[in-house]
């Protein structure tokens, strides 16, 4: 049985406690990503502040396309349309000047909602359907649980990057424990 079959069979079932817990942690990191950006204007969102040259908006677009969409809708479900769309992305870290900040943030919200629908209609042990062997070699993740843990870690890491960028932009810090 493939992950797509598992999702199809499961329908709109209530996820078990493990998936609910993992999704709760992921949702916390997603809120952090969006929360640390609140109040930044479009110019600041596009301004690279680190030597690597990414902007806050570029990082959010990366999370939407290279993380949420890639892992949940391509790798986990094997959606052919999503897999085909991956070929059209040259560099998700670079936001086209014609795309507004609001559009990028809305895309992130939409991709997280689509990912949530996939997650809540599956089981933690469900296997992955697709993997780009030609780009990344043998897969190192094998189940939805693995993917969730990976995406939680990656999103948390990038939330930390956004914390640093925000502090450099205007001094604001997300959470400081003293």
Q: What is the pLDDT of residue 116?
A: 98
Torsion of CA 99, 102, 105, 110, to 10 degrees: -90
> What is the chain's mean pLDDT, rounded?
92
SS3 label, residue 24: helix
- Does the pLDDT at position 84 exceed 70? yes
Q: What is the pLDDT of residue 178?
A: 53
Contact 148, 71 (CB under 8 A): no
Rg (CA), the chain: 17
User: pLDDT per residue over 29-72, tens digit each?
Assistant: 999 999 999 999 999 999 999 999 999 999 999 999 999 999 99
Contacts of 158-161 spanning 24+ positions with Cβ under 8 A: 158/33, 158/59, 158/62, 158/63, 158/67, 159/29, 159/32, 159/33, 159/36, 161/50, 161/59
User: pLDDT per residue over 8-27, tens digit each?
Assistant: 444 557 899 999 999 999 99
Distances in Å between the alpha carbon of 134 and those of 13, 14, 87, 130? 35, 36, 13, 12
Contact 110, 129 (CB under 8 A): no
Instruction: State the fold for domain 3-12+34-170.
Output: 1.20.120
Q: What is the pLDDT of residue 174?
A: 83
CA-wise closest residue to 114 among 58, 70, 166, 61: 70
Domain boundaries, the chain: 3-12+34-170
- Does the pLDDT at position 1 exceed 90? no
């Amino acid at each position: 049985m493939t992950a797509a079959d598992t999702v199809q069979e499961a329908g709109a079932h209530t996820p078990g406690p493990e998936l609910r817990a993992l999704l709760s942690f992921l949702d916390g990191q997603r809120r952090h990503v969006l929360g640390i950006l609140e109040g930044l204007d479009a110019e600041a969102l596009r301004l690279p502040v680190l030597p690597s040259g990414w902007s806050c908006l570029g990082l959010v677009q990366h999370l939407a396309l290279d993380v949420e969409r890639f892992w949940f809708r391509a790798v986990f479900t094997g959606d052919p349309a999503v897999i085909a769309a991956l070929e059209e992305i040259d560099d998700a870290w670079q936001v086209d000047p014609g795309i507004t900040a609001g559009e990028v943030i809305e895309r992130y919200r939409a991709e997280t909602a689509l990912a949530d629908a996939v997650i809540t209609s599956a089981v933690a042990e469900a296997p992955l359907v697709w993997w780009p062997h030609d780009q990344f070699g043998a897969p190192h993740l094998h189940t939805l649980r693995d993917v969730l843990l990976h995406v939680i870690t990656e999103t948390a890491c990038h939330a930390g990057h956004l914390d640093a960028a925000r502090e450099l932009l205007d001094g604001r810090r997300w959470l400081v424990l003293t």
